[in-house]
Structure 1
Amino acid sequence: MIYTIMDTAYIKSLPFLIDGLKITLSITVIGLFLGMIIGSLAGLGKLSKNKFIRGFWSVYVEVVRGTPILAQALFLYYGVSEDLIGLNISSFTAGVIAIAVNAGAYIAEIVRGAVYSIDKGQHEAGRSMGLTEKQTMRYIIWPQAFKRMIPPLGNQFIISLKDTSVFSVIVVHDVVFMAKEYYNTTFEIFETLVMVCLLYLCITIPTALYLNRLERKLDV
């Protein structure tokens, strides 16, 4: 009985898919880490009193949010790396940059909204204590804002994880690419794609449940 289960088309595809899943998770985690840095700069930049800084980051956010991530990945991998700078970057690197740039635009709005939601009295309290504007942001505003960012940042993780599925077109060996390679050889298309969906669900469902629990715990 155990042998029969292990010998099914569903289970036999798992070693190939798990190899791809490792790449998918790596791109997501590294890309989101960089995206958090970009998004924080962009979000705070959009709140800047300097018109140039505010305008620059506003354009970045609108351009990235207004174009599909597939087009961005193709642009980075073929347009920028090959045609513009003449440098062949790996598909993995292109995928990480695409996630970082794309997620950064959405994280910017998360950051901007979280900071903007903090009561203005907090700013005034910091200034009345003799803190500079930067110190007030660092020690008073940002800790409170970051607490409110956690649930939407978790949702962005899920979104970015699913977004990596389009990177098979630039030959990223993610879970979708490995699935295509497997079923092109075995012709077990249905079984392989079922396992792909299950692997994604094994990550997204626990993450969503944890985020719901965390949101209730943080009371945000």
Structure 2
Amino acid sequence: MDKLEEYRKYRKELVSLHSKILKLSSINFKQSVTLLDILEGKDIVLESGIEKDAILDFNVYRKIKNEQNAASLYREQENETNEKEAILLSAMEKADGLLYEIVKINKEKNSILLKEAENDTEAVEVIDVGLSETLNKNTLIFARLIHLSQFSLTSGMEFLFLKEHKHYLKQRSRKLMKKINSGNISDDRFIAYFKLNRTDGLPAFTQEIT
């Protein structure tokens, strides 16, 4: 089985898992939108379509208690999982939102090589049909990667920025994280880049999963 075929199977499984996890009674949606600072009275105020995906992503992956996210809690509560679900859940427990530089794009293989913008780490291969067709190397991408054995895939939402703003984004995100100080660095970083996407983000590409 080639990587693209494997990617499509895992992508569909991931979408299904997200839907199941979001039904957990332990997820506090109001707390999530409050942390993102998008609640005005009883109304959630969104500025773009990608923000809806960001809210759902935050509810699945933000730390709820004892450094556990909703994927971790789902894994504990649900005994019946298939092989791909088990693999995904294990990876989802460790998934973190980070800013990445694009090292290489291979449209023929639907792959992108991404390298962390903050740390000198080895580039990882991400399989994604939509992103590989639309991104260019002058773009930075904030994404939550699900690392599998052969490749990685995104959790399904991304914030895009100009590469020339890298230094500013790194400095500004650190200042915002100190101000947010929710008690978890991963969540603080996500909230910071959610805010930065509003002020400095590029239009994000969205696609229907088939």
TM-score by length of 1: 0.24
Query: Hey, which of these two has a bigger chunk of helix by percent?
Result: 1
Larger radius of gyration: 1
TM-score by length of 2: 0.25
Query: Hey, which of these two has a bigger chunk of strand by percent?
Result: 2
